[in-house]
Amino acid sequence: MCRLLVFKGTQPIQLCHLVTRPAHSIINQAFDSRLRLDATRAVNGDGFGVGWYDSSPDLELGNAPCIFTSVTPAWNNQNLCRIAEKIKSPLVFAHVRASTAGALSETNCHPWRYGRLMWMHNGQISDFGKIKRRVLESLNQDLFLFPQGHTDSEFAFAVFLSHLENPLQTQEFGYKQLRKAMLDTINDFNNWSRQAGIVEPSLMNFCVTDGQSIICTRYVSSKTDQAASLYFSSGTSFYEHTQGTYRMVKTDKREKIIVVASEPLTFEKADWMEIPTNTLVVVTAKMNVLMMPITDEYAIQSGEQGLVKRDPQFALGRGFPPSMNNNNHHNNNNNNPAVMVQAQAQTTLNPINSVAPAENKIQHNHLHLATAQPLAHALRPVHDNFF
């Protein structure tokens, strides 16, 4: 069971406010996951990685992210603590690893980069060995040689790159191109698994960025199972009001900070919203947040709402705790956390991936997310003491 974190802000933040200082920082999640229900599985001690972009890109140094990885446990790495106190960035990826595939080595630690792109994954491609040959055959020579490690996650990145016309371009890609490549990547793995006769679902919580736009997915290739957990928070500032205790403060309707994480970094219920299973999240360069259901064969259709329920046991049994949502709560819009988005681009997404006019202010669960639920309901049925 890995844990991941994505941060994007209009102003750079010290890495320590994300990875070391919060009482439930991603480092603490490495050994004290509040969503870990399977006590028999190992802690996330198989390495970690942090990737970030410069606040002001240097023409000489280029626009590629810097990535620091180590195979030591994140909570026991003094270099990480020192670096986190001295580095600021407006866009950060962080990941702690509990290996499900690949040996313990730095080449197997997330995130990875290719040009200006950065990628990480929480989950597993089921029976990856049975489809690895198909994956390799789909790659051109450059991408065939790209993976240095042995994880399904890094090969998934190579597949994603294969869907970009020029993955080494220096200009930003834009969220539409990244979104399409992400959906094509998921579709590829579903097709390969089907062709190989694999029946066990794959857990594909992917995150990718070009330094401007971000795409995240919470996904499982199943119609009856939940995906690994993923949460969202946004606000004006991420404030440490007492030592180790943070709040997402909202003093403006415009979002200045956006966080996507496997587990909440704070213990405030109103700060976080659960991202529904089989949903794609877009964070645009202008800090707009767009959410869309992934409408493939594993989507629950409108006529099936209430008839088909997703079971948490599959993800849980493989060490990837899903949300604690028991699917008995159907909340109205007023119960959702105050996560408003100023839609500067004046567009939002509908379930068939087209672009349509939108209101200036849109609430996330208006974006065809009838199953979106507040964090309080997502966690309380099992872990009431989380908060």
What residues act catalytically? 2
Contact yes or no for 180/126 (Cβ under 8 A): no
Q: Strand runs (DSSP E) across the chain, as ranges?
A: 3-14, 48-52, 66-70, 88-96, 112-114, 117-124, 203-209, 214-218, 231-235, 237-242, 245-249, 257-261, 273-274, 279-283, 289-293, 340-342, 347-349, 355-357, 361-363, 373-374
DSSP state of 29: H
Contact yes or no for 115/167 (Cβ under 8 A): yes
Q: Which residues of 127-148 are buried (b: 16+ CB within 10 A; e: fewer)?
A: bbeebeeebeebbeeebeebbe
Q: Which residues contact 22 (CB under 8 A, 6 or more apart)?
A: 28, 240, 244, 245, 246, 265, 266
Contact yes or no for 294/183 (Cβ under 8 A): yes
